[in-house]
Structure 1
Amino acid sequence: MTDSTIGRIPAMKAVWMEQLRVVGLAIRREAGLAALVVALGSVAVIGISRLPVLQAIFNEDMQRLVFDPAESPWMFIPVLAALLLPIVVWKGERRFGDTPLWSMPVDHRRHILLKVTAGWVWLMAILAAFLAWATLTTMVSGGALGVDEVRLLLLDAAGASAGAPDAMEPVNWTTPWWQWVLPFTSASAAYLLASTLVLATARPLFWAAGLWVAGAVVLGIGEIWDIGWMQRTTEFVAWYIGGESFARGVQLPTGREVVWTLLPTVQMWMALSAFWITLGLAGVLVASGRPRNQ
């Protein structure tokens, strides 16, 4: 190092490229293991769909793959990966106290934000590769991309049980374009919220477990006391992260049918995405500005 380079702040492009490289190295082992699991799963799916011996072992539902990006497990897998990724991104790096973040030539807050952004870029790249691989697996196995079906929209639960003809409305449903974008927005929100916990708390897993327990308590209270707004809120959250929601089994005079209490819309997707992503961004910005002695 010469006198002319002492105290010189590196160019933003150089810092950004270095963060992309460092984060890529940090996640390479976990990403490789995940890719191996996905590849083995694809081999199993294709084998079940193509080999008569395996078809005889598994039931008929396992023989045809339907790739609907808004349904579980296609949605839940990216969200779960997004929740765990910040832990991998920041592993081995002290985030609290007098850490190396304060001795770098780049402002510590800018360093944190660049690292979070680099992790998000890698997440989007991995998610795009996963969805492309799932699409290829579906096509090779002879499955279906998206759904094209008639869904029963429940208008009156009591009337449906009694067989009232106007208690349900059949609706033609085809997977809309925005549901192919939904995994990216949901994963982005999950990644930002998880990054907030990692940056703001010394024990993010402890706080994550606490939030999960609190959510389970809220869900239980809503179900036990039949609190409508609480049930609907948990359904919205469950739908956005790829859980089972809005669809339920109902016993009708003609037999048991799957009905829908609500059909998702593009407005619902945009509103939920705006809310959760904004909340995650605000959390990361606040957590990145933490004072040095905390």
Structure 2
Amino acid sequence: MSPVRDHPASLGRQLVEQIRITGRSLRREALALIVILLVLTAIGLFEAIRGGAGLNADPELLLAVLPLALLLPFAIWRAEPAFADAFVWFMPVSRQRVAATKVVAGAFWLLVLVLLVFAWIAALALGSGGSMGETEQRLVGDASTSFTQLELRRWSPPVWLWFVPVFSALIVYLLASAALLGLRHPLRILGVVLFGGAMLLAIVFVASPGGAVGQSLMRWQDLAANGSLGYNVALTAGVSSLSDEWMRADGQTVSVWRDLPSLRSWATAMLSWFAAAVILLLAAIARHRERTG
């Protein structure tokens, strides 16, 4: 029989309680993060003193939270597995509400984490005499034609670029939560998919190096990563995919940007991935219906 739910707690009260419980369950991870930040602070200050120049903070540094966003759902559900008879499933509210509020509570602490890491980066940069975002000259254009046709543009990170890691972390967190709530063995399935994909690619490229099938797969991979709705654009605003290293005639290597990051391009890709992540999460939560026997 299902648990008795004659007097369910209000949604707001349950969410506050889930935030409190989730925060307490993450104390060990928080302590480990503090230790890591202290070590990195010491290293950063040492390098600043030795180099005689302040540390400059770029928005890309905040992307370091993405691996943490990926692992956070596993830490949150570690003590109360999604497909086990854990205590959390016997609260006087529906199972789907329990799952949803627990995910939202995790998202709250993820945003706190991103804010704290941003504050740490800012304090380290400004405290060492550096700046928030370095102004530089960037070569923009198609370097495959001629270096003389490249345009030199003055570039400093716009304010919106600092919000990219925030939404990227949320997308990664929601996708990981969807996998954890929707699949009984997400790590096994992911391992099988990755191994199978790697084996397929190996067979294709060994059997037909440079063949049409291999080239087609590479084009699809590049489209998924760097297309207008690719994950590189959604998660980094294209920072990791818009530039290439080229060697000039004098032997010097320079970075050439095909284009500079665009707010419109990023927002389009980010909203598409965010919507997809929410849909997958809702589908995963829908699996946790009430048990009738």
TM-score interval (norm. to shorter): 0.7 to 0.9
1:234 aligns with one of 215, 225, 240: 225
Corresponding position of 1:138: 125
Q: Following TM superposition, by how much is the alpha carbon of 1:101 offset from its aligned partner in structure 2, in angstroms?
A: 5.2
Show CA shifts across 1:155-187 (max 9, x none).
Answer: 251x23xx5x22x22222110111011111000
Name structure 2 gaps, 5 residues minimum.
none
Corresponding position of 2:83: 96
The residue identity in structure 2 corresponding to 1:179 is L
The residue identity in structure 2 corresponding to 1:201 is L
Q: Separation in 2 of the partners of 1:270 and 1:252?
A: 34
Of 78-87 and 95-104, more deviation after overlay is shown by 95-104
Show CA shifts across 1:207-258 (max 9, x none).
Answer: 344565678789998x973855642432342354457322221112243211
Q: Separation in 2 of the partners of 1:214 and 1:143?
A: 47
Corresponding position of 2:111: 124
Name structure 1 gaps, 5 residues minimum.
none
SS of residue in 2 equivalent to 1:65: coil
Q: Following TM superposition, by how much is the alpha carbon of 1:140 offset from its aligned partner in structure 2, in angstroms?
A: 1.2
Q: Matched residue pairs, number? A: 271
Q: Following TM superposition, by how much is the alpha carbon of 1:6 offset from its aligned partner in structure 2, in angstroms?
A: 8.4
Q: 1:133 and 1:156, CA in 2 relative to 1: closer, same or farther beyond 3 A?
A: closer
**2:171 and 2:277 in contact (8 A); partners too:** yes
The normalised TM-score by structure 2 is 0.82
The normalised TM-score by structure 1 is 0.81
Which consecutive aligned stretches of 4+ in structure 1 deviate over 4 angstroms post-superposition? 97-102, 210-221, 226-229
Q: 1:64 and 1:249, CA in 2 relative to 1: closer, same or farther beyond 3 A?
A: farther
Q: Separation in 1 of the partners of 2:196 and 2:274?
A: 21
Of 270-279 and 119-128, more deviation after overlay is shown by 270-279
The residue identity in structure 2 corresponding to 1:234 is A
Show CA shifts across 1:72-102 (max 9, x none).
Answer: x431x11111100000111121322655555
Q: Separation in 1 of the partners of 2:15 and 2:188?
A: 31
**2:134 and 2:157 in contact (8 A); partners too:** yes
1:149 aligns with one of 125, 136, 155: 136
Query: Is residue 2:240 matched to residue 1:250?
Result: no
**1:138 and 1:144 in contact (8 A); partners too:** yes
The residue identity in structure 2 corresponding to 1:24 is G
**1:219 and 1:230 in contact (8 A); partners too:** no
2:58 aligns with one of 51, 68, 84: 68
SS of residue in 2 equivalent to 1:181: helix
Q: 1:83 and 1:271, CA in 2 relative to 1: closer, same or farther beyond 3 A?
A: same
The residue identity in structure 2 corresponding to 1:252 is R
SS of residue in 1 equivalent to 2:25: helix
SS of residue in 1 equivalent to 2:26: helix
**2:62 and 2:117 in contact (8 A); partners too:** no
Percent identity reads 26
**1:250 and 1:258 in contact (8 A); partners too:** yes
1:87 aligns with one of 74, 78, 99: 74
Q: Separation in 1 of the partners of 2:47 and 2:5?
A: 63
1:177 aligns with one of 159, 175, 182: 159
**1:218 and 1:230 in contact (8 A); partners too:** no
SS of residue in 2 equivalent to 1:152: strand
Q: Separation in 1 of the partners of 2:225 and 2:200?
A: 8
